[in-house]
Amino acid sequence: MPFVKRPKPLAFLYQKRGLIFLGCIFIGFMQAGLYAGRRDIASDLEAYPSDNSQPWPLTGSLPSNTPSAVVEHPIPKLMADAETSFRQLLSKQSQTLKAAVNEYKKRYKRDPPKGFDQWWAFVKEHDVKMIDEYDGLVEDLAPFWEISGEELRRRALQVSHFQRFEFR
């Protein structure tokens, strides 16, 4: 009868003892964290009135004997405020070419660029909502207003002659 090596009953557990140890440590820390995060509900309930005659309001202030708490979440108010300010901004947009030209002169202290009337036709044809709101674009282009057209063309030509670098 040939010799058959029988597996030891706990050999697998012995081989994985490091992982088992780490698992036990992890579970221990989780239990400790859950226990530490629990609150004493009984002490919290003492601050609230025992009679149910008056339900708690969803908004407004709490009675003085209650712990401080956020009663109304701030996100709906922030959303409503943003919607109101957006609607106000929309109502102030220019309705005519003349009003758009005046607003441009007022904001940027110069006459609108050549072709502004064609731009206005495009805006009206495509139902653009924010007609006067190009402050960011004007701010981004501000450094180029300081350069003459000749210098800008020279620099563009110079850049076009650079070899392309390939990143690997």
**Tell me: the pLDDT tens digits for 66-89?**
556 667 889 999 999 999 999 999
Lowest mean pLDDT among 16-25, 75-84, 107-116: 16-25
pLDDT tops 80 at residue 3: no
pLDDT tops 70 at residue 55: no
- Nearest-10 crossing angle of helices 97-108, 116-125: 120
Using an 8 Å Cβ cutoff, are 71 and 62 in contact?
yes
How confident is residue 41, by pLDDT bands cut at 50, 70 and 90?
A: low
| Closest-CA residue to 116 (of 130, 127, 131, 129) | 131
| Closest-CA residue to 94 (of 123, 131, 129, 138) | 131
Confidence (pLDDT) at 130: 92
Residues 144 and 140: their CA atoms lie apart, in Å, by: 9
Amino acid at 4: V
The pTM of this model reads 0.48
Using an 8 Å Cβ cutoff, are 44 and 69 in contact?
no
Residues 23 and 10: their CA atoms lie apart, in Å, by: 18
pLDDT tops 70 at residue 109: yes
How confident is residue 30, by pLDDT bands cut at 50, 70 and 90?
A: confident
Task: Summarize the chain as % helix, strand, coil (round to 5).
Answer: 55, 0, 45
Alpha-carbon distance values, 134 to 78, 91, 117, 123 (Å): 25, 16, 16, 13
Confidence (pLDDT) at 64: 59
Residues with Cβ within 8 Å of 8's Cβ and at least 6 positions away in sequence, in order, are 14
Amino acid at 125: E
**Tokens matching residue 107:** 């904001």
pLDDT tops 60 at residue 145: yes
Question: If you average pLDDT over residues 22-30, what whole number do you get?
Answer: 86
| Closest-CA residue to 20 (of 31, 32, 28) | 28
Q: Across 36-40, 53-57, 76-80, which has the greatest mean pLDDT?
A: 76-80
How confident is residue 144, by pLDDT bands cut at 50, 70 and 90?
A: confident
Confidence (pLDDT) at 123: 93
pLDDT tops 70 at residue 9: no
